[in-house]
Structure 1
Amino acid sequence: MRPGPGGPGKGRLLITVVGESLVDLIEDPSGEAVAHPGGSPANVAVALARLGQPTTLLTQFGDDAYGGLLRAHFTSSGVQLDPASVQDLPRTSVARTRVGADGQARYDFAIDWPSLPNGPVAGVADASRCLHTGSLATILEPGADDVLALVRDRRASMMISYDPNCRPSLSPDGVHAGRRVEELVAVSDLVKVSREDLDWLHPGQPPERVARRWLELGANLVVVTLGADGALAVTRRGVRRVAAPRVAVVDTVGAGDAFTAGLLAALSERDLLGAARRPALRAAGPEALAALLTDAVRVAAWTCGRRGADPPTRAALASLPAPA
């Protein structure tokens, strides 16, 4: 699926995404596993490109059949792939995904995340105004240390976006994971996190309380996704919630990543991306926050109606009824 009308064009800001890509082996109703491109940061990059945002992806995958599937997916979606992403790895990472009767996805991983090919200050384009990262790439060693160093190195010149997207099966030590999450929160401008992540990282604590703590650490905007209940945004100026559109859910694979991309695209379209725009992001009022969240939940809702991580183009998104 190629980018729809309003694709990469004049005046749009380059967004760089750093993190894992993998192949999701998703069981269909008959029990047969079908291969779908996936990986949280890779999903974000694809969704951004389909929404018309110029996007570069620095990831890691092998020169094998699954790697070829990923490369074709990125090319057809309009993602500019960093050449260093294709490496002499023993395999391309795989996740086996089982979708329950409720549409919720559960994962088993076979993933490697080695050191970044160009080291801790990998070749992220200087033209980028936003660097997004998250998920397994920020927690799995040895590459996770390089990602943290990269974020710290580029924060002065780029806005930083971060999604913890926790995977307890690969991070059984919640205390250690929590420390790494807060290290990244402290150097991020925008943090998007799911209610499920917060329930694991900070059991029993209300999402708004954790979000306010993360603002104190250094974030300017914390957005919490609430599944079918929508999303909430927390800034130093207050809290804003929006509801989610009603859709027939096929599965939730990639929905959170689609939300992240929808949020970043909405920020770009409203001139709120980039290191120089931090004061404007901090000053965003309730109406602006509601508009950002509404755009993001629409992208996520559309994706829930598709099998696997298959986010919409801008043209396809227009087919979703407008919120009441």
Structure 2
Amino acid sequence: MEPGNDTQIPEFLLLGLSEESELQPLLFALFLSMYLITVFGNLLIILAVTSDPHLHTPMYFFLANLSFVDICSISTTVPKMLQNIQTQSKVITYAGCVTQIYFFLLFAGWDDFLLAVMAYDRFVAICHPLHYTVIINSQLCVLLVLVSWIISVLHSLLESLMVLQLSFCREVEISHFFCEINQVVRLACSSTFLNDMLMYLAAVLLAGGPLAGIIYSYFKIVSAILRISSAQGKYKAFSTCTSHLSVVFLFYCTVLGVYLSSAVPQSSHSSAVASVMYTVVTPMLNPFIYSLRNRDIKRALKRIFGVPVM
């Protein structure tokens, strides 16, 4: 198909992670397994938090929301990939691609803000323990989640509307397994200056802002923990943060790794493979990180499955 300008693109082609036909059954089985593990694991976290009165606290309220966002995030990308592998088709409609961009940015942004909110929760719990129940009340918890959701909705809506203003060439092959916004914008035949500026601004404000809040929170947390005299007290205080810190480290390291490496000349295929880490692997590992290192979650899960709690 010869390149040309066409403002009414009917469809895009998602090239996926590999075009080798013999690898498709393996990729289908692998990603289906990862998807089911992610959904089942995060649903268990939500069920544990909602069913156990001992977990009706701000920390677990935020954790349940994070699990919900992880389910939604992976459901935005992987099912379409599995469908394309199963049907041996690479097609995604123009409307479907823009919709995927919208929801992926929505849930990625919401995930980002929730991690910052959870860091603030740990900061208040450790640095201001006597005022914790007064500061982190139920109204504030709902407000923080709601504000995070509203900001994410507005950002993803603006990014999607900016994509709709672009005109595309007829060769619309995306070297990715989903409609990643950077990849889609690169395909445009019209000027992408405003899109690029918006993406850079969003990266600084909506990604850098929460990250700065997390770093500041943990700087204050570490300072407070070092002032605790007993080793047991230090361990107990830090143990409440290890799961969240592990998730933060995993999320930001994979995201920053992908987007910083995108500045270095490399194939789009390599970027797509690296993107699997934060789009699929991170949501899958979150339930394991929180359940394996958290006694309260393990007790709640045992009650759900009828296992005697010691």
Q: Normalising by structure 2, what TM-score?
A: 0.31
Structure with greater contact order relative to length (CA < 8 Å, sep ≥ 6) = 2
* Structure with more of its chain in helix, by fraction: 2
Higher share of residues assigned strand: 1
Q: Rg: which structure is higher?
A: 2
